Amino acid sequence: MTTLDSPSREVVREGHIDIAGTAWPLYKLEALLTGILALLALFVVTGTAQTAVLGAAAATTLVWWVRRIHYRRRGA
């Protein structure tokens, strides 16, 4: 018989969110949300999937790196 012990409540570091027991850095979630919103907006505006995908990829990458540097400098 399997028992469920009470989950340990580890302190999640500042700048992280606990998702399914894993600490996700905020910059990753911000980049993913930005990419999804950019994809939808560009697809509605341009009507072409190629432009929307490339634009969303560029926006996601830019937000990923800028926010990562921001959180690293703030934490240091």
Q: Does 39 fall in a domain? A: yes
Q: Does 63 fall in a domain? A: yes
Q: Does 13 fall in a domain? A: no
For residue 55, what are the domain limits? 25-75
The reported pTM is 0.74
CB 74 within 8 A of CB 28: no
Contacts of 75 (CB under 8 A, 6+ apart): 14, 15
Q: Does 32 fall in a domain? A: yes
Quickly tell me which residue has 């969303």 as its tokens.
56
Domains: count for the chain? 1
Tell me the per-residue pLDDT of 27-63, one tens digit each, with 9 for 90 and over.
999 999 999 999 999 999 999 999 999 999 999 999 9
